[in-house]
């Protein structure tokens, strides 16, 4: 066996190395003395790893018989996700150091790195075996992370709901893959599947297989009608895990979804999965929006908001082109900073006061003007108000969908546009609570920790500048062409 093949999987090896370092530090240092430094050391090391993953070139090689591909697009999305994870680490450090969690902080970082490793495998996989292994090693440790608040009942309830739906969805996915295997001529490589189903006529088995695969991955992405776990899990999980689930897990699954649908099932696009995804996207955007309107808990509210955002991300899959993938990666990048800004504010307030209700934000600008400012910008960006990055990401993804010029896709964009207006209502409800609602501030003035402020500044910088700096979009589209 040629061990130099492992050189192509540098991002995975870096994350794995980081996992081992944290594991050894956690195991062989004593409580109270050296363990104090675990959080800063891990955060700094991960920051260096993220820089390294940005800088290493991708050579576009296939290793392990073509199971794993090291392409420019895969590396770009990994680098984007690394920025997101770095921000999550900064935001979570305050919670990790709290009395209740500090004794288990090593486990938190270990589980986080294992899930990230699984997501990286999932992104680069070009064979369904590697894809399933990546998917499972991404979703199983997440269940343990959702249950991390051992003394809170809601955390366990959320974890139960998460693990049951995760196992059900992967079981359905495996059944679907077994049908795909029957049709593929005895191979699970994406390329072989594509060649095998292009030659054969449409069979009922293929329809069932595709429906099962969409259902299986739709659960991970919380597309409607597979979204029912999302709100409960987001509400019950610790806030750091919720932000990780809603951004990193969703971004990697969306990219893997695109790769599977274009590379393995690309030839049956117009015949089969175009209308399936069409219906799923319209349902996702609309139902996510309508349920978000009536939420009073901020974490639940963000759950439905992220369901509807997943629908927008999936618009990129409908284009089935490199332009669509580039717009999707750009959307994910902008979504990472906007969503993490919201969760940064939520977790800062929750860490200090334990309040997560939307009416606790009444008059927040009187006591905490900077947090109010960050939250307002993030809400504007999520809703898509012009000078901020969210507007450009929505604009570019709509442009890429209508680029092919087909009438049904224009209708799809119309529905998405109408839903953008609906979403403006509930995003601005939060802004209204902060700036307009009368009464004294319910959250007293406080100064958040240095790491939280740093994370928020990073997010706000991204929200303001990503839309105005065109080279980021160019980078996404150029790398997407090299899938």
Could you give the CA distance from residue 107 to residue 99 in angstroms, rounded to a whole number? 15
Kindly tell me which of 170 and 308 has the beta carbon lying closer to other proteins. 170
Asked if residue 196 binds other proteins (CB under 8 A), the reply is no
Q: Does 203 bind other proteins (CB under 8 A)?
A: no
Q: Crossing angle for the helix pair 389-402 and 322-353, nearest 10 degrees?
A: 150
Query: How many CA atoms are closer than 13 Å to the CA of 162, on its beta-carbon side?
Result: 30
Length of the chain in terms of residues written = 483
Element (H, E) at 250: helix 250-259
Residue 237 vs 348, nearer CB to other proteins: 237
Q: Which of 463, 240, 468 is nearest to 335 (CA)?
A: 463
167's tokens: 């196992």
- Distance of closest approach, residue 178 Cβ to other proteins, in angstroms: 4
- Which listed range, 94-102, 135-143, 250-258, 420-428, lies at the site for other proteins (CB under 8 A)? 135-143
Least Å from the CB of residue 217 to other proteins? 15
Helix, strand or coil for residue 187? Answer: coil
Q: For other proteins, which is the closer residue by CB, 164 or 481?
A: 164
Tally Cβ neighbours within 10 Å of residue 70: 21
For position 358 contacting other proteins by CB under 8 A, the verdict is: no
Residue closer to other proteins, measured from CB, 41 or 174? 174
Give CA torsion, residues 360, 361, 365, 370, to 10 deg: 110
- Tokens of residue 100, six digits: 């209740």
Contact 464, 419 (CB under 8 A): no
Nearest to 279 by CA among 322, 326, 215, 198: 215
Site string for other proteins, 154-193 (x = CB under 8 A): x-xxxxxx-xx-xxx-xxx-xx-xxx-xx--xxxx-----
| Least distance in angstroms from the C-beta of 475 to other proteins | 36
Q: Could you give the string, one character per residue 208-237, with x where binding to other proteins holds by CB under 8 A and - elsewhere?
A: -----------------------xx--xx-
Binding string, 47-86, against other proteins, x = CB under 8 A? ----------------------------------------
445 near other proteins (CB under 8 A): no
Smallest distance, other proteins to C-beta of residue 119, A: 16
| 3-state secondary structure (DSSP) of residue 62 | strand
- Cβ-based nearer residue to other proteins, 173 or 341: 173
197 binds other proteins (CB under 8 A): no
Size of the site for other proteins (CB under 8 A): 41
Question: Based on CB atoms, which residue is closest to other proteins, 160 or 269?
Answer: 160
Question: From the centroid of its chain, how far is CA 351?
Answer: 23
Q: Which of residues 360-399 bind other proteins (CB under 8 A)?
A: none
Residues numbered 103 to 132 that lie near other proteins (CB under 8 A) are 128-129, 132
How distant is the alpha carbon of residue 336 from its chain centre?
7
Under the binding rule (CB under 8 A), the answer on residue 290 touching other proteins is: no
Q: How many CB atoms lie within 10 A of CB 354?
A: 8
Whether residue 423 contacts residue 305, with contact meaning beta carbons closer than 8 Å, is answered with yes
482: phi then psi, degrees, rounded to nearest 5: -100, 50
Beta strands in 64-221 (DSSP E): 68-69
**Residues binding other proteins (CB under 8 A):** 128-129, 132-133, 136, 140, 143-144, 147, 150, 153-154, 156-161, 163-164, 166-168, 170-172, 174-175, 177-179, 181-182, 185-188, 231-232, 235-236
């Amino acid at each position: 066996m040629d061990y130099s093949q492992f050189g192509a999987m540098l991002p995975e090896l870096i994350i794995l190395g980081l996992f081992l370092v944290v594991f050894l530090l956690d195991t062989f240092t004593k409580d109270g003395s050296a363990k104090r430094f675990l959080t800063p050391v891990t955060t700094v090391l991960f920051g260096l790893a993220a820089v390294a993953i940005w800088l290493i070139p991708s050579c576009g090689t296939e290793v392990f018989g073509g199971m794993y591909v090291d392409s420019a697009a895969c590396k770009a999305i990994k680098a984007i996700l690394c920025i997101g994870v770095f921000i999550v680490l900064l935001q979570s450090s305050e919670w990790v150091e709290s009395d209740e969690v500090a004794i288990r902080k090593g486990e938190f970082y270990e589980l986080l790195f294992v899930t990230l490793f699984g997501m990286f495998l999932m992104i680069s996989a070009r064979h369904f075996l590697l894809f399933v292994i990546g998917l499972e090693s991404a979703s199983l440790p997440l269940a343990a992370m959702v249950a991390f608040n051992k003394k809170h009942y809601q955390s366990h309830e959320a974890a139960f709901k998460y693990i049951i739906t995760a196992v059900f969805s992967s079981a359905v996915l495996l059944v679907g893959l077994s049908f795909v295997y029957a049709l593929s001529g005895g191979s699970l490589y994406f390329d072989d599947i594509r060649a095998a189903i292009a030659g054969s006529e449409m069979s009922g088995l293929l329809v069932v297989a595709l429906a099962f695969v969409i259902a299986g991955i739709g659960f991970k992405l919380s597309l409607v009608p597979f979204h029912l776990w999302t709100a409960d899990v987001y509400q019950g999980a610790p806030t750091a895990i919720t932000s990780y689930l809603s951004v990193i897990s969703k971004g990697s699954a969306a990219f893997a979804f695109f790769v599977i649908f274009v590379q393995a099932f690309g030839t049956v696009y117009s015949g089969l999965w175009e209308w399936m995804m069409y219906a799923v996207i319209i349902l996702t955007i609309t139902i996510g929006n309508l349920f978000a309107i009536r939420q009073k808990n901020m974490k639940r509210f963000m759950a439905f908001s992220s369901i509807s955002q997943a629908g927008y991300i999936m618009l990129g899959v409908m284009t089935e082109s490199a332009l669509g993938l580039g717009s999707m990666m750009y959307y994910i990048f902008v979504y990472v900073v906007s969503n993490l800004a919201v969760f940064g504010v939520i977790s800062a307030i929750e860490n200090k006061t334990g309040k997560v209700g939307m009416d606790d934000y009444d008059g927040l600008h009187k006591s905490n003007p900077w947090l109010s400012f960050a939250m307002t910008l993030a809400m504007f960006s999520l809703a898509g108000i012009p000078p901020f990055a969210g507007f450009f990401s929505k604009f570019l993804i709509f442009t890429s969908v209508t680029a092919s010029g087909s009438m049904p896709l224009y209708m799809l964009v119309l529905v998405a546009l109408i839903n953008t207006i609906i979403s403006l209502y509930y995003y601005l409800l939060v802004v209204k609570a902060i700036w307009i609602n009368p009464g004294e501030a319910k959250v007293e003035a406080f100064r958040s920790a240095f790491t939280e402020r740093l994370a928020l500044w990073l997010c706000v910088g991204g929200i303001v500048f990503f839309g105005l700096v065109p080279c980021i979009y160019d980078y996404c589209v150029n790398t997407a062409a090299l899938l």
